[in-house]
């Protein structure tokens, strides 16, 4: 299928079946602890089944499923290589205690982390818990 061609299969029975397969796999992932089934098994099976449905749709509607598969595999390969490099980099930094050193440097200089996101914040005490009240209350009143 070239860039100029567009086949809309969203309302077909195959599309709805693919959506049902996806939802079922997602439900099995959520129920991993109760079923004892590892997350990867229903996801990989569903992905294979969905590609079979894409192949059937390609035959019925006359487009090239191999080109779609090749494009998606290249996208996944690029993502996999990026994640592999990023994870290796982060593990190397963690192994060398870079994050611990950065954390201690930030604490020494008065940086604090936002409790909901872990992102560093350097506003004046508006983002620090009030020392005179409950630790869960924030000192927004002083900025009014």
**Residue pLDDT, tens place only, 67-86:** 888 998 999 999 999 999 99
Domain count, the chain: 2
Of 59, 72, 74, give the one whose Cα is nearest residue 7: 59
Q: Kindly report, residue by residue over 26-72, the tens digit of the pLDDT.
A: 999 999 888 888 888 999 999 999 999 999 998 988 888 888 889 98
- Domain's final residue, options 66, 83, 98: 98
Say what the pLDDT of residue 139 is: 45
- The answer to whether residue 112 is domain-embedded is yes
Q: What is the DSSP letter of 39?
A: T
Say what the pLDDT of residue 22 is: 96
Say what the pLDDT of residue 65 is: 85
Partners of 112 in the β-ladder = 121
**130 and 93 co-located in one domain:** no
**136 and 76 co-located in one domain:** no
**123 and 66 co-located in one domain:** no
| The pTM of the whole model exceeds 0.95 | no
Contact 46, 24 (CB under 8 A): yes
Helical H segments across the chain, by residue range: 13-30, 32-35, 40-61, 65-95, 98-108
> Confidence class of residue 121 from pLDDT cuts 50, 70 and 90?
low
**31 and 84 co-located in one domain:** yes
**71 and 112 co-located in one domain:** no
**90 and 110 co-located in one domain:** no
Residue 137 is part of which domain span?
Answer: 99-143
């Amino acid at each position: 299928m070239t860039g100029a061609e567009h086949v809309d299969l969203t309302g077909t029975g195959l599309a709805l079946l693919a959506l049902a397969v996806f939802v079922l796999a997602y439900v099995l992932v959520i129920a991993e602890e109760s079923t004892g089934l590892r997350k990867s098994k229903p996801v990989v099976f569903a992905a294979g089944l969905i590609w079979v449905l894409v192949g059937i749709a390609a035959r019925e509607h006359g487009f090239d499923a191999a080109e779609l598969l090749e494009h998606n595999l290249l996208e996944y390969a690029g993502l996999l290589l990026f994640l592999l490099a990023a994870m290796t980099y982060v593990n190397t930094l963690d192994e060398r205690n870079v994050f611990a050193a950065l954390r201690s440097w930030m604490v020494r200089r008065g940086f604090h982390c936002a409790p909901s996101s872990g992102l560093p914040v350097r506003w004046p005490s508006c983002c620090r818990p009030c020392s005179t009240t409950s630790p869960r209350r924030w000192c927004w009143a002083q900025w009014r």
